[in-house]
Every structure is written in C-alpha cells, then in structure tokens.
C-alpha cells in the first residue's frame, strides 16, 4: 500500500501565503469544486434546487453567490461551478448528484483547479496588471472568465478580496504572474512582458 500525502497546487504540503506590501496572496487548496450543467428543459428546476442548497439565489450571468456552506459561480449557459470547504468525509459531486438527480450533469472538479485568494485595501491596480477586465467597475458578486498571463482563469470579486481559479497544471505559472504583478505594483514599475 502506498503512503500518499496530499500536496497543494504549488507542490507543498502546506498552503503558501505571500505578503508583498499591502497585497496578500494566499494559496487556498481546501476547497471542493463540482460543475453542474442543467439538462435540456431542466434549467428552472436546477436553479431552484441550487438556490435552496446555497441559501441564496442561483447566480446569473457573470455573477457568483455565497451561502452559509456553499458558493457558486456562473460558468456558462445553465452551468455553474459549486464550491464548498473541502471535507474528506464528504463527496461534493456525489451530494450534488443526489439532490439534482437526472436534472443535471455533475462533474467532480476539485483536483483540476487551483485557487488563490488575493486581498489588499485596493485590489483594482493589481488586478488591472493581471488582466484586461475593468476591475474598478467589478462590484462584489461579480464572476468573470478572463486570461491572466496566457492562462484561462475565473476571477471572483468579493467584498474586500478576490479569488482566482485556474487549471491546477498552471498553478506555479499563475502564482509567479501574481507575485510579479504585486512586486511591480509595490515598486511602481510596469511588469515585464
């Protein structure tokens, strides 16, 4: 029997946190993810079930919602990514399949993605160095698909912080891009291409 230990997306046994000036970059591996796509004609019922699960309205286009135990963000037509604190005793995808039944296709996504949480008194200048979105105009509750340093990501704005999800295979490259942008902001220089 192999004795395996879980590793973060950055290849460490514990999450990494970087503080660069007022910016805090946190590797956040303790989140479970599952995608939900409503089957034909089942969108209304899926939205109602997900709203009950979230304890908040199901997110519309380019939005995310956070309930007491689960969060969700819109990823496409009648499709959402559901997030919850990781619990090894609970299979998020299985729990979603149980409540949604044949109304939706549910796919386990936990190990496919890496999550970084960013906080600073004003995140817009950092986020503007990372992507071409209008970050100053992104209110809390916004969720957008974007590109950061040639990597497809999801960016979620919260009150006081932001979350970036990207494919786990890009974790080190994304972390490097975020740290580089934060350092260039701190020094007042433009980041190098």
Based on the domain organization, do 94 and 24 belong to the same domain?
Answer: no
Residues 150 and 133 in one domain: yes
Greatest distance between any 2 Cα atoms in the chain: 54
Q: What is the pTM of this model?
A: 0.93
Find the CATH number of the domain harbouring 21.
3.30.1360.120
Beta strands in 77-185 (DSSP E): 79-85, 104-108, 113-119, 143-148, 151-157, 161-167
Task: Answer yes or no: do 148 and 89 share one domain.
Answer: no
Total tally of structural domains belonging to the chain: 2
> Do 106 and 118 belong to one domain?
no
pLDDT for 190 equals 61
The pLDDT, as a whole number, for residue 6 is: 82
- Per the structure, the complete domain to which residue 21 belongs is given by 17-29+112-187
Compute mean pLDDT per 10 residues along the chain, 193 residues long, and list them: 81 95 96 98 97 96 95 97 92 97 97 97 94 91 96 95 97 97 83 55
Distance CA 90, CA 42 (A): 26
Is the residue at 11 inside a domain?
no
Please say which residue of 90, 111, 132 terminates a domain: 111
Three-state SS sequence of 121-189: CCCHHHHHHHCCCCHHHCCCCEEEEEEECCEEEEEEECCCEEEEEEEHHHHHHHHHHHHHHHHHHHHCC
Q: Do 176 and 136 share a structural domain?
A: yes
Radius of gyration of the chain (CA): 17
Residue 81 is assigned to a structural domain of this protein: yes
What confidence score (pLDDT) does residue 188 get? 73
Q: How far apart are CA 130 and CA 107, in angstroms?
A: 29
Residue 2 counted as domain residue = no
């Amino acid at each position: 029997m192999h004795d395996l230990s879980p590793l973060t997306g950055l290849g460490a046994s514990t999450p990494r946190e970087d503080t660069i000036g007022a910016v805090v970059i946190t590797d956040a591996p303790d989140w479970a993810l599952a995608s939900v796509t409503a089957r034909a004609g089942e969108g209304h019922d899926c939205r109602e079930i997900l709203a009950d699960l979230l304890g908040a309205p199901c997110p519309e286009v380019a939005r995310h919602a956070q309930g007491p135990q689960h969060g969700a963000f819109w990823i496409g037509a009648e499709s959402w990514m559901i997030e919850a604190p990781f619990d090894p005793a609970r299979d998020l995808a299985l729990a979603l399949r149980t409540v949604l039944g044949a109304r939706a296709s549910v796919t386990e996504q936990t190990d496919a993605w890496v999550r970084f949480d960013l906080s600073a008194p004003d995140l817009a200048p950092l986020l503007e160095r990372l992507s071409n979105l209008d970050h100053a105009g992104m209110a809390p509750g916004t969720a957008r698909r974007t590109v950061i340093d040639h990597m497809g990501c999801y960016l979620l704005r919260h009150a006081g912080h932001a979350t970036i999800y990207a494919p786990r295979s890009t974790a080190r490259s994304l972390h490097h891009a975020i740290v580089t942008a934060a350092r260039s902001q701190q020094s007042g220089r433009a980041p190098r291409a």
